[in-house]
Every structure is written in C-alpha cells, then in structure tokens.
Amino acid sequence: MHYPSHQRMIHTGSRSITTWLILITIVLYILYSCNILLFNNEQECPMTTTTLDDTTQDDVHMTSYNISSTSDKNIEHKVLPIENKEQMQDETEKETEQDEDDFREGEGEEQENKSPIVVRLTPEQMAQRQDTELKHIVFGIAASSNLWNTRKEYIKIWWRPKQTRGVVWLDQRVSTQRNEGLPDIRISDDTSKFRYTNRQGQRSALRISRVVTETLKLGLKDVRWFVMGDDDTVFVVDNVVRILSKYDHRHFYYVGSSSESHVQNIHFSYAMAYGGGGFAISYPLAVELATMQDRCIQRYPALYGSDDRMQACMAELGVPLTKEAGFHQYDVYGDLLGLLGAHPVAPLVSLHHLDVVQPIFPSMSRAQSIKHLMESINQDSSSIMQQSICYDKNRFWSISVSWGFMVQILRGVLSPRELEMPSRTFLNWYRRADYTAYAFNTRPVAKHPCQKPFVYYMSKTHFDTASRQIVGVYSRDQTKSPFCRWRMESPEKITSIVVTKRRDPLRWKKSPRRDCCRVLPSRKSSTLFLWVGNCRQGEVTEL
C-alpha cells in the first residue's frame, strides 16, 4: 500500500523540479537578452505577457525611443552632402559595404520592432547644406541667325545680366552690340558628320540636340543644372530655381513637360520633354549624356527634332521624364487667355511659341506684352498666373482671378470644377483636330451673350509699404459686350478691379493649394475690390 504512494510522491517531485527548471531557464533567457540590449542596440529585449512590478509601460516606451535615437546617430554619416563625383563613388562604395555587413549581421534574427528609422542631419550638416540658387543653373539657348534680331528681344526681357549664367548657341555669326543685356553668343560645332534622314524636319535639330553637351564642355564651375530652351522661350527664372530646388542635383534628373496637343504627344512621346517649353538636366546626367550622345544620335537619323533625340538618349540611359506642369510648350494657335486664365496649381516656369499665338495683352506687341507681365513677376514671381475663384453673393457673379495677368467676371454661378478648366479660346496645333485632341480637360467658350465673360487685364501694379501688400489695378477690355436680356445686374458698369495680396515666397514649399479670393466692400460702384491669398482654416470656395 505504501509503495504506490511513495512512487507518486517521487513522480510529483520530479514534475515540480522540471517546472522550476523551465521557469529558471526562461528568467535567465530574459536577463541574458536584456543584458545584450545594454551593449548592442541592434538587439531587443523580448516582450512577454508577464508584467514586471518594477517596470512600468512608460519605461518600455522610453527605452524604445532611446534605441531609435541611437540608431539615428549611427546613420547620419550617410547623408553628408557630396559635391564631386569621386566623393560620390567613395560614399556609394562605403554605403554598399555597410549595407552588406548589416545584412549579414541581421540574417536569421527576428525583427520585432518594425517602426521606421528617421534620418536626422546634425547642425554641422545643416550648416554645410546649400539650397539650389540661380548661380547654380546654366541656361543653354538654341537660336537661329535668321530670326535672331526678333527673338533676342524675348531673351532681353527675362535675362538678368551678371546674375543668370548661360550661352546662346547659333548656327553662324551675327552682328552684336555692346551692353545689350544678352548672354554670351557662341557658334555650335559642325554636325555634318551625323546622318539626318527625316524629310519633314531640318538638320538644325542635330545641332540643337547637342546644346547641353556643348555647354557642359565649356567647363563652367559650380554647376548643378543645365536648362535648355529656345530663343522664343521666356523663363521665369525664380520659378526655375524653385522647381529644381525640390530635386537632388547629385542624381540623374530629366525635368520638363509634354505638349498641350494630344496628337503631338502620340506622334512623338508622352515621355519626352518638349524643348520649346524648356527642360532641365542635372549635372551628373549631363556628364553621362556627353559620353554617349554622339553615338546615340547616329542611331536615330530618322527622328524629327532635337527634343525627341534627347529623349531617345535618355531612354538608353534609363532615365525617365520627371514632369513639371509649369513648363509650357504651347503647341496651340490663337489666344492664350483660356490657358493662362486657368493655370494649374504649379509655378509658371516658361512660355513658348510667342511668335505663333496672339499677344497676351491686347493693343501691345508680343515683346511688350511679356515685358508688361514682368511687372507682376517682379512683385511676386511665385504667384504669377495662379488662379483663385470667388463669388459675389449679392449680384450672383462668378469671379476668376489669374493673378498678375487678368480677372474675369461671369454672370451666374459656375462651379470651381468648371472654372479651373481652360476655356477654348485657342486652336489646336493640328488645325483639323477638335477639342478632344488636347492632353487636358477644356470647356467650350460660352455662346450665350449673357454668359460672355467680362475680362479685366492688369494695367499697373505696385507694392504698398504701409499695408505691406501688392496692389494691382486691372482695367476692362475695350471690346464691346453683347446685349443681354437677363435682369441680373451687369458687370459692365465695373470699369476697374483692384486686387490686393501679400507676397508668399514660400508657397511652393507647402502642399499645393489654390489661393482663396474674397470680395471686399467698396464705396465706388465702378470699382470692384478683391483680396487674394492663403485660405483660412475651413474656408471653402462656394456661393
């Protein structure tokens, strides 16, 4: 009787010993793991469901935060600015070796904490970092000697002597005068050795396609970007700087935009930056392009222009187009009013084909129109052409402001969705193509006489030091308005519109948003006062 009882006691004792051994082993493992954590911040103390009396949940979170902070310090050396190619290669090799070591060390280990690591720059690194400035950008302008006397007037308007850097590349020498306010003029290299078989194009496309490479070979110092354009391309240089500042100039970038014509993009490529609208190439990419461009050009003798040859070489290099909506090829005819009156929410970078379209300001020449527009650009280049929409609730008017250019008043209520679409005041590059041949949405020009917009063009602008605001006066176009039978109050009695706004040089460093517009009280029945600027919290464009 005692033997079975004694056996059960031995069996029970052995089970309790086993249990204690397991518990001791777990405790030792936890202590061992935590001990490693103190000396190696890549390990983590495994979290169990057991709550320790002397360790609160807040302590656990604080420990996790400290680990992340320590990890940040260990990887800050990877984001030091690199200013030359040799340093870039050395840094890349070091990063590759470090990544391989980290991968080997982390193989087979469990990654419990998957929260992202934030890379922070030290104060020394922030002090060394420099934003892209105008001095870091070099313009390469493709020009023709036959059109030089006319086209040089466009360049004089936007070029800033002793500030902008660049070269005009011509096919042959032209007569020049001193102090014309123009860039240096050089003659392109001979391209007769290259084949050209396109029957519709001209051999000058070969010369123009090499503008960036020839500009690179001049050996200019401290260059980050090359910007290519035509002699009839007008650049807003401050916005060129704003756009390119978003990108790391140490990497390969090909920045530009497509054509407004859907047919043009199909015929050439949606992946191509149109040269008339202008495009930018980072310095390292220009260096890489120069090593292979002549061979690349020989492979594409049947292409039409210079920009499709450039895109063909970019395709061989594997560099895609980075699209920026502010580069405007303007493959259209007629009046740019509809396009400029509903500019996308993006900085205006360039205007092209100015000899093809009508002057943007009536009763002025094309060059005078651009010079007049520069008055607003000089006041606030970041906001030029930016659209804002508001409503006169008492008179049921829809108002669209294209800042620095013009204001439109329409009877009735048009939604912002309609007003932000360009009205078709222009014709397609292919005359037989209808409105479906545009690469963007458009709306028809109103046929009803009561729905015709009243247009007010910018007549003068100045900065008011007392209110610290820009004051622009917009005068009504002299075109006679058609007779309207509506009983609604007519904007015809409004002869001028005064628009006030504050400068906002940092607007493109924030998330893009259309400006808000408000109708201000006025004592003059012939003058409408508007305010344009950043939207308040909760402000919505609605009637």
| pLDDT tens sequence across 436-459 | 999 999 999 999 999 999 999 999
Same domain as 268, residue 160: yes
Task: Tell me, yes or no, whether 155 and 296 share the same domain.
Answer: yes
- Does residue 397 lie within any of the structural domains? yes
- Distance separating alpha carbons of residues 369 and 385, to the nearest angstrom: 14
Contact (Cβ atoms closer than 8 angstroms) between residue 166 and residue 138: yes
Q: What is the CATH number of the domain that holds 201?
A: 3.90.550.50
Q: What is the CATH number of the domain that holds 454?
A: 2.70.130.10
Mean pLDDT computed over 257-263: 96
Q: Rounded to the nearest 5°, which phi and psi values hold at 228?
A: -100, 140
pLDDT for 479: 85
Mean pLDDT of 212-223: 97
Q: Which is more confident, 71 or 453? A: 453
pLDDT at 366 over 60: yes
Task: Give residue-wise pLDDT tens across range 478-526.
Answer: 888 889 999 899 999 999 999 999 999 899 999 999 999 999 998 899 9
Tens digit of each residue's pLDDT (9 = 90 or more) over 373-419: 999 999 999 999 999 999 999 999 999 999 999 999 999 999 999 99
Lowest-pLDDT range of 132-136, 435-439, 459-463: 435-439
The better pLDDT of the pair 138, 97 is held by 138
Domain that holds residue 310: 129-328
Q: How many other C-beta atoms lie within 10 A of the C-beta of residue 337? A: 25
The token pair at 215 is 């500009």
- The continuous run of DSSP H or E covering 308 comes out as helix 306-317
What's the pLDDT score for residue 266? 95
Kindly state the average pLDDT of the residues 147-160: 96
pLDDT at 189 exceeding the cut of 80: yes
Reference 85, options 287, 225, 220; nearest CA is 287
Q: How many CB atoms lie within 10 A of CB 339?
A: 26
The stretch 127-142 carries a mean pLDDT of: 86
50 domain-assigned: no
Quick check: 235 pLDDT over 90?
yes
Note whether residue 78 is domain-resident.
no
Q: Is residue 39 part of a domain?
A: no
Q: Please say if the pLDDT value at position 90 is more than 80.
A: no
Are 403 and 319 within one domain?
no
321 and 398 inside one domain: no
Tally of structural domains, the chain: 2
Q: What is the pLDDT of residue 151?
A: 95
Average pLDDT over the chain, rounded to an integer: 84
